[in-house]
Amino acid sequence: SYVLTQAPSVSVAPGQTASITCEGNDIGSESVHWYQQKPGQAPVLVVYDDRDRPSGIPDRFSGFNSGNTATLTIDSVEAGVEADYYCQVWDRSGDHPVFGGGTKLTVL
Amino acid sequence: QVQLQESGPGLVKPSQTLSLTCTVSGDAFSGGTYYRSWIRQRPGKGLEWIGHIYSSGSTSYNPSLKSRISMSVDASKNQFSLKVTSVTAADTAVYYCARAERLGMGRVFFDSWGQGTLVAVSS
């Protein structure tokens, strides 16, 4: 089964840019999707198909995918984006989703 | 706008069966190319896919849970359901129902989630 690896935590100062990575074998050939989950809440899709944003998601969220690493970037970080972030791809052979382990973003 | 809502007991005894229902509104329940899915999150852990029912009615389950899982759909009520048999404390989790649309090969993501329901397994 396909494995996605995320760093457990990332810390960033307010106003700076946060980069959250998701590693997988040739992940650049897959469509990667990202979810934000705040404490006690359900996950929310923030980026799909590597770089597209659903309606209502601010443009401070962006994504890139190439090689063995996909990256979610959050510009001008503020306390409101502090959350867990999960990447996800679809395992085509098994026809099921695969999630990364999640990265906790802390705003210092 | 699609809305999903989980319902079911919040407490289940060990060895018994966990049963949850997801009620969907704002969605053309029949047809389309949707995966109606169950995902759980154990306390302090990440997201774990449990299984799904595709629009065609076919099902797919997480191999690690497959022997204890069943899912069904009641299109007349816009609902789909999950059963997990022989539960243990390891099945204590927040259970989410979610919808994923298949936009193309590999392009499947969850655009709508229920709020989640905590199920504790304890005597």
Give the N- to C-terminal CA distance of chain B in Å, as an integer. 39
User: With an 8 Å Cβ cutoff, is A64 touching chain B?
Assistant: no
Reply yes or no on whether the pLDDT at B28 is more than 70: no
- The predicted-structure confidence for B41-86, as pLDDT tens digits, reads as follows 999 999 999 999 987 888 999 999 999 999 999 888 999 999 999 9
Chain A partners of B103 at a C-beta cutoff of 8 Å? 49
- The predicted-structure confidence for B15-25, as pLDDT tens digits, reads as follows 999 999 999 99
B46·A33 Cβ contact <8 A: no
User: Would you state the pLDDT for residue B31?
Assistant: 65
Minimum-distance CB partner of B47 among A31, A86, A95: A86
Beta strands, E only, chain A: 9-12, 18-23, 33-37, 44-47, 61-66, 69-74, 83-91, 96-99, 103-107
* Order of strands across the sheet that contains A18-23: A18-23, A69-74, A61-66
Contacts of B73 by beta carbon, 8 Å cutoff, 6+ apart: B36, B53, B57, B79, B80, B81
Tell me which residue of A29, A24, A23, A37 sits closest to A84, measured CA to CA. A37
User: Would you state the pLDDT for residue A95?
Assistant: 86
Residue B10: both structure tokens together: 């919040």
Beta strands, E only, B1-123: 3-7, 11-12, 18-25, 34-41, 47-54, 59-61, 69-74, 79-84, 93-104, 107-113, 117-121
Minimum-distance CB partner of B114 among A35, A42, A94: A42
d(CA B27, CA B13): 34
| Shortest CA distance from B107: residue in chain A | A31
d(CA A12, CA A18): 6
User: Would you state the pLDDT for residue B27?
Assistant: 74
- The predicted-structure confidence for B91-109, as pLDDT tens digits, reads as follows 999 999 999 988 888 889 9
User: Would you state the pLDDT for residue A1?
Assistant: 83
What pLDDT band is residue B29 in, cutting at 50, 70 and 90?
Answer: low
d(CA A95, CA B105): 10
